[in-house]
A and B are shown apart, each in its own frame.
Chain A
Amino acid sequence: MTLIWLRVALVFYAAGLLYALVALTRTSEILGKVALHASYLGMVFHFVSLTEAVVQSGQLASASVHNSESLLAFLIMVGFMLAYLVYKTTTPGIVVFPLVFLLTFIAATGQQPLVFASVAVKHGWLAVHILMIFTGYAALFLSFGASILYLLQERALKSKNSSGMFSRLPSLQVIDDIGYRSLMLGFPFMTLGLIAGSVVAESTYGRIDFLDPKILLSILMWAVYLLMVFMRLSAGWRGRRAATLASVAFAAAIVAWIANYFSGMHRFITS
């Protein structure tokens, strides 16, 4: 059933994907509204799917491990909706919807690429680790999306071409606010998530292997994130430079994610 609900959610998210694709050529207010409402419905089904997964496995930790893509997609949608509630704009969806669709799609195919040993999975800290890290990921991604929109809007304003495809983008200030707030919100989550992760590793193995690719990359990603927050606060970096940093952080996050496949420690295989 979990998968069925998720697939229903996927169908609704497809409306968002369509919106994002159409937005590349022209703006459509109606489609924006349709995508928004479809996303509401999608989130409801998505939530049902996640809840059911928790009920089935009887445990938050293992449920979040086994539905990680789905959980991440859901958290990103929550972030998007929060931004919508505050700023009344669906334009971040241009970036958010395709990724959410992709993540949900991967989850909905029902193949779990990651296999974890069941011992560690029962660990309560693991649930904290996953939820925190994923909230951090979602925020980082939203911030990344916002910096891309910022670049587009900045270019449109500089080229003095007011009409056309980006004429309905929100103002620079609003885009900047969305990026800044999600950046600032995401950082503590990311930090706490990493701490929770090291607690799990520590208690499972009694030590942390800093040379493990997953851990190395996670620390790198966190460092870039820290740099971003710092540059933003001290020098007010935004626009092109902020977007560059955000893409580096985002790339590091993706690489750290992929490292799951290579990291012995993260898969809880005793080496």
Chain B
Amino acid sequence: MRFQLIGVNHKTAPVEVRERLAIPESRLPEACKRLSEHPSVAEGMIVSTCNRVEFIANMKNGTGDLREFLREYFATDLSPFEEYLYEFREDDAIRHIFRVAASLDSMVVGEPQILGQVKEAYATARAVGAVRAQLDQLLTRAFAVAKRVRTETAVGSSSVSIASVAVELAEKIFGNLNGKSVYLVGAGKMSELAARHLLAHGAASLFVANRTYDRAIRMAQKFNGQAIEFSRLYDTCDRADIVITSTGSPHFIFRPEHGEKLMALRKNKPMFFIDIAVPRDVDPEMNKIDGIFVYDIDDLQQAVSSHVADRKKEAEKAEAIVNGEVDKFHARLQTLDVVPTIVSLQDHLETIRQAEIDRVRGRLGSMTNDQELAVEALTRGIVNKIMHTPISTLKTAARDPESTTVIELVRRLFNLHDDLHNDGERETATARAVRDRGAED
């Protein structure tokens, strides 16, 4: 396991830097292929979105550095980027990928898009064969972790944009928005966005009144709505359940007396005023009328930030899940590491050898010291000769991305399942010994 991750994101780098490292979708397959074919890299993938560019690799050995690849790929000196780059290795790299997939590293924590983007990046890399073995397992696990975080915590459950907060509030008042009508007073960008959200959630009809009638017509056409001349505003707005105001008017357009009249006309059916104009278009006193709910831009903003605070609390829970998963994944990879496998294979055969000697010792009768040694040497020789090929195969396999398959096969053939975690201390000592010996030949 030699995971390395290097990259930039919205926290570490301004957009000018991110865009210079970003790789357009069309060139991503080729870039992944080149990354995985780099001499020091066994497998690799690239996540490139507007908020982050990350290069993730499973290195062939501990000495390689992903920077080499970056230098070659971008054909540039990395020093101007150095201060923006972050780098993670081993467990830290695993943790980072889990966090990214679970949307804990996003600008808006919990937003769901990033998981889809990572999945796409994974699919792209996989299609060109750049992701095959451990990296494949890592990403598969990352998606499972993201799912766990989504189901077990409330990260991502509450909405954050002003438009979506407006929809949420409207749903608190009207239940679902099916058949509700929306009235835009003033045709700005923000009110358009809010209207789009409301219509997407089922609102049925749209009216637009604007001081410039042409703009009202254009906006109404966009949503298949109805344009209304501004002078007829008060005669028509009782048809609306939701009123979004965003005019540049210096005075209040809706005052309590309008509200009283509207409620009488509407037989007290509730009305929701969303006032995103500054200065405000709706007199806050209107909020005191039964059945009328007025939210201005600050109220909406506050709702947004209270959601963000809720998310922070949930994000802590999510971090705990991620940490637990990193440990689990680490342990799992370790069982698939080549050195412990060789050790347990040797232990296994040594146990058999000892048992067999003990079994026949009675029939051999009393032996001289020399004879004892001869038997010892004979049996050991046989075992070592038999072991030679499997062990060297395992060692070669270790350098190969497919090693997990070979290792898993060996473990299964010799039934080497359980003896890994029983005695960690001793295991590591023997493992070190084997590694040292391995380094010599």
Interface of A with B (CB < 8 Å)?
Answer: 153-154, 157-158, 160, 162-163, 170-174, 177, 235-241
Contacts and interface: CB of A to CB of B under 8 A. Distances in A.
Contacts, number: 51
A173 B303 contact: no
A157 B173 contact: yes
B417 interface: no
Contacts of B336: none
Contacts of A241: 290
Interface string B157-194: 00000000000110111110000000000000000000
A171 B173 contact: yes
Interface string B287-313: 110110101000100110010001000
B268 A238 contact: yes
B175 A171 contact: yes
B421 interface: no
Contact of A235 (B168, B268, B295): B268
Q: What 9 pairs across the A-B complex have the smallest Cβ distances?
A: A236-B267, A173-B175, A236-B268, A171-B175, A160-B299, A239-B290, A172-B173, A173-B174, A174-B175
Interface residue range, chain B? 20 to 34
B432 interface: no
Q: Name which of A162, A171, A177, A241 has the most chain B CB atoms within 10 A of its CB.
A: A162
Nearest to B287: A158
Majority-rule SS of B interface residues: helix
A89 to B, nearest CB: 11
B306 A172 contact: no
Contacts of A172: 172-175, 270
A154 B287 CA distance: 11
A172 B180 CA distance: 14
B55 to A, nearest CB: 40
B268 A158 contact: no
B269 interface: yes
A157 B287 CA distance: 10
10 contacts: A162-B303, A170-B175, A171-B171, A171-B174, A171-B175, A172-B270, A173-B174, A236-B268, A237-B268, A239-B268
A159 B360 CA distance: 89
Nearest to B270: A172
A236 B172 contact: no
A161 to B, nearest CB: 9
